[in-house]
């Protein structure tokens, strides 16, 4: 999913893991950059073991994403995209890029631009309105690059860094990521939407179009009943392409036969989706052991959704979160507040909020909350339960079940601007039926 460049052999991408060769190359490039005078807080090379611990640690921090720049496949630079913490509502619109570096031996070939472009693309897709970064004044090449990419230099810290007894100034930059109409100037809201000040603190919600798979085809059920399925396409790969072309940034895939059987069933269909998707894919349904989770994560699935095991085997969820940080999501499906499992055929005596807290404790990256009685019914989300869960946990919550109109999305958008932590929404039938157009949906959620 990384971006290429006009020069062959140069590319940048988000790294979700690092193999031995990658780690070795990354450590070398960092040490070379430190020796070359900057990009990092370190002033002396740190050696392999310190850097190795540092980079492995990044994957454990939910707010941080590592991006690497590659020349002919080898890592020669990196940067991190850092999201504001959940407690920082006032700055929820701004992401920060830090520890940007390109090794001295790979400079002057345009790789820095490729790396920043990839980070901008990701920050934009996540709905951020500004990207900030700062740099030592001695980094002339980086400063020229940021200026050429229309970063605005808004300030200078005269006491930015102390290097070999000399005080070095630091330059602070900011770049706008979204359209002018949603931005503030000089501390005041400059533009208005529908006569009201633009909501600056709430970020765009991510829309996850659903691809539910039954017997190899893309279907939608009503209230999760397998014998009440509407078939929308028998070509899951084409459906994945269509949703990517419509502008969605993620796909939500459920292996329905898998959820009932307790093991993956629509394997070929999921593989078709992965092969055709240009955006990350999350997959749930039938994932009940580490081997199954690992094999899908290796096969190109970005995040897996665990439903039944969240209730029946929370230790497995904890272990999966430890092994695959950031890539495990809990699917909490409730019938009138009580969590259901096994394709929703069984209802437990556990409350959704209790399970949410347990899953947060296990380390999940997000929680998808579905009210089963609304799923596929087009009558609107259960906003009360969704908001209650988002207020109870501190991991992001994705709403699901019942979207049938743009008004339903607008209502969620309003709740999300008052209750922090609602990150996105899953839409199925209403998109397939054409009740909601992708462009309108994305506009309402932005
Ligand atoms: O519609 C259903 N009957 C259904 C469904 N959509 N049953 C399960 N699921 C989804 C859950 C979750 O994403 O919403 O399957 C996933 C959970 O599967 P499992 O196998 O982990 O319980």
Question: Which CATH number covers residue 81?
Answer: 3.40.630.30
Residues 68, 151: one domain? yes
Q: Which residue among 229, 284, 341 has the greatest number of ligand 1 atoms within 8 angstroms of its CB, and so is best to mutate?
A: 284
C-alpha triplet 446, 410, 332: angle, nearest 5°: 90
Residue 3's pLDDT is 53
How far, in Å, CA of 90 to CA of 202, rounded?
9
Closest ligand 1 atom to residue 226 Cα is 3
Dihedral angle sign, alpha carbons of residues 29, 34, 39, 41: positive
Residues 95 and 191 in one domain: yes
Q: Are residues 232 and 179 in the same domain?
A: no
* The pLDDT of residue 262: 96
B/e letters for 208-246, b = 16+ CB within 10 Å, e = fewer, are bbbbbbbebbbbbbeebebeebeebeeebbebbbbbbee
**pLDDT attached to residue 264:** 97
- Domain final residue pick, 159, 186, 202: 202
**Atom number in ligand 1 closest to CA 333:** 14
Helix (H) or strand (E) segment spanning residue 156: strand 152-163
pLDDT for the residue 122: 85
Q: What is the structure's pLDDT at 154?
A: 95
Considering the domain architecture, whether residues 77 and 184 belong to the same structural domain is answered as yes
How far does residue 365's CA lie from ligand 1's centre (Å)?
Answer: 18
What ligand 1 atom has the least distance to the C-alpha of 343? 7
Catalytic residue among 134, 255, 333, 375: 333
Kind of pairing, strands 422-427 and 346-351?
unpaired
How many C-beta atoms lie closer than 10 Å to residue 94's C-beta?
18
Distance (Å, rounded) from C-alpha 342 to C-alpha 34? 53
Is 3 contained in some domain? Answer: no
**d(CA 102, ligand 1 centre) in Å:** 44
268 an active-site residue? Answer: no
Return d(Cα 386, Cα 17) in angstroms, integer: 32
pLDDT at 202: 54
Domain range for 441: 205-445
Boundary-marking domain end, from 202, 219, 240: 202
- pLDDT of res. 20: 93
Report the separation in Å between the CA atom of 259 and the middle of ligand 1, taken as the mean of its atom positions: 5
Decide if 2 is inside a domain.
no
The residue whose CB lies within 8 Å of the most ligand 1 atoms, and thus the one to mutate among 259, 260, 313, is 259
232 with 283, same domain: the answer is yes
Name which residue sits closest to atom 15 of ligand 1, judged by CA.
285
Best residue among 213, 343, 345 to mutate for probing ligand 1's pocket (most ligand atoms within 8 Å of CB) is 343
Q: Give the Å distance between the CA of 241 and the centre of ligand 1.
A: 23
Pair (171, 217) in one structural domain: no
Tokens of residue 63, six digits: 């707010």
Let me know if residue 410 belongs to a domain. yes
Q: Has 382 been annotated as catalytic?
A: no
Is the Cβ–Cβ distance between 412 and 444 less than 8 Å?
A: no
CB 384 within 8 A of CB 409: no
Residue 5 domain-assigned (yes or no): no
Residues near ligand 1 with C-beta < 6 Å? Answer: 221, 224, 254, 256, 259, 284-287, 305-309, 331, 333, 341, 343-344, 370
Asked whether residue 163 is domain-assigned, the answer is yes
Claim to verify: residue 195 and residue 209 sit in the same structural domain: no
Task: Give me 59's structure tokens.
Answer: 């994957």
**Whether the Cβ atoms of residue 248 and residue 431 lie closer than 8 Å to each other:** no
Q: Looking at the structure, tell me whether residues 147 and 280 fall in a common domain.
A: no
Question: Are 343 and 305 members of one domain?
Answer: yes
Distance CA 369, CA 340 (A): 11
Is 179 in the same domain as 210?
A: no
Same structural domain for residues 267 and 398?
yes
- Residue 235 has φ and ψ, to the nearest 5°, of -130, 85
Structure tokens at 254: 């459920």
Q: Which entry of 212, 255, 375, 382 is annotated as an active-site residue?
A: 212
- pLDDT computed for residue 164 by the predictor: 84
Number of domains comprising the chain: 2
Q: Output the pLDDT for position 41.
A: 79
The CATH number linked to 299 is 3.20.20.70
Q: 260 CA distance to ligand 1 centroid (A)?
A: 8
Q: List the residue whose alpha carbon is closest to atom 10 of ligand 1.
A: 285
Give all strands (DSSP E) within 22-142, no chain letters. Answer: 64-71, 74-82, 94-102, 130-136
418 burial type by CB count under 10 A (0-12 exposed, 13-18 middle, 19+ buried)? exposed
Q: Which of 202, 224, 252 is the last residue of a domain?
A: 202
Atom number, ligand 1, closest to the C-alpha of residue 262: 20
What separation in Å is there between the alpha carbon of 285 and the centre of ligand 1? Answer: 5
Using alpha carbons, select from 295, 287, 291, 300 the residue that is nearest to residue 329.
Answer: 287
* CA pair distance 340, 416, nearest whole angstrom: 25
Between the CA of 28 and the centroid of ligand 1 the distance, in Å, is 44
Is residue 230 situated within a structural domain? yes
Which one, of 160, 93, 164, lies nearest residue 131 by Cα? Answer: 93
Q: Which of 174, 184, 188 is nearest to 130 (CA)?
A: 174
Parts of the chain with a pLDDT under 70: 1-6, 38-39, 179-202
In this structure, which residue's CA is closest to atom 8 in ligand 1? Answer: 343
Q: Are 336 and 348 in contact (CB under 8 A)?
A: no
Q: Which atom of ligand 1 is nearest to the CA of 286?
A: 20
Establish if 278 belongs to a structural domain.
yes
- Decide if 1 is inside a domain: no
Structure token digits, residue 48: 């392999």
Residues 195 and 240 in one domain: no
The pTM for the full model equals 0.68
């Amino acid at each position: 999913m990384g971006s290429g460049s006009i020069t062959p052999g140069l590319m940048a991408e988000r790294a979700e893991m690092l193999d031995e060769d990658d780690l070795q190359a990354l450590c070398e490039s960092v040490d070379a950059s430190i020796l070359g005078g900057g990009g990092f807080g370190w002033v002396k090379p740190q050696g392999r073991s310190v850097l190795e611990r540092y980079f492995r640690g990044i994957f454990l921090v939910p707010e941080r994403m590592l991006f690497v720049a590659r020349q002919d496949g080898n890592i020669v630079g990196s940067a991190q995209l850092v999201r504001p913490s959940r407690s920082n509502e006032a700055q929820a619109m701004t992401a920060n890029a830090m520890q940007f570096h390109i090794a001295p031996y790979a400079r002057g070939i345009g790789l820095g631009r490729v790396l920043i472009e990839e980070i901008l693309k990701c920050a934009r897709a996540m709905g951020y309105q500004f990207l900030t970064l700062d740099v030592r004044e001695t980094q002339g090449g980086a400063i020229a690059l940021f200026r050429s990419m229309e970063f605005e230099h808004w300030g200078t810290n005269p006491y930015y860094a102390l290097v070999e007894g000399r005080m070095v100034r630091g330059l602070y930059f900011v770049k706008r990521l979204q359209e002018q109409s949603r931005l503030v100037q000089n501390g005041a809201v400059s533009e208005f939407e529908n006569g009201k000040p633009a909501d600056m603190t709430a970020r765009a919600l991510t829309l996850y179009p659903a691809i539910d798979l039954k017997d190899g085809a893309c279907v939608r059920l009503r209230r999760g009943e397998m014998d009440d399925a509407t078939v929308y396409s028998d070509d899951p790969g084409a459906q994945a392409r269509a949703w990517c072309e419509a502008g969605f940034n993620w796909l939500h895939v459920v292996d329905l036969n898998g959820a009932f059987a307790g093991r993956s069933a629509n394997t070929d269909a999921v593989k078709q989706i992965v092969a055709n998707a240009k955006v990350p894919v999350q997959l749930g349904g039938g994932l009940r052991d580490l081997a199954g989770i690992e094999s899908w994560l290796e096969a190109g699935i970005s995040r897996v959704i665990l439903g039944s095991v969240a209730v029946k085997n929370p230790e497995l969820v904890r272990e999966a979160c430890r092994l695959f940080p950031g890539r495990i999501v809990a699917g909490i499906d409730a019938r009138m507040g009580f969590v259901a499992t096994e394709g929703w055929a069984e209802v437990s005596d556990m409350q959704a909020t209790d399970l949410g807290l347990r899953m947060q404790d296990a380390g999940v990256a997000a929680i998808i909350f579905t009210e089963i009685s609304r799923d596929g019914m087009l009558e609107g989300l259960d906003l009360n339960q969704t908001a209650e869960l988002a207020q109870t946990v501190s991991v992001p919550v994705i709403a699901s079940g019942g979207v049938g109109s743009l008004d339903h999305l607008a209502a969620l958008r309003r709740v999300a601007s008052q209750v922090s932590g609602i990150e996105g929404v899953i839409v199925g039938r209403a998109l397939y039926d054409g009740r909601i157009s992708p462009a309108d949906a994305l506009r309402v959620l932005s």
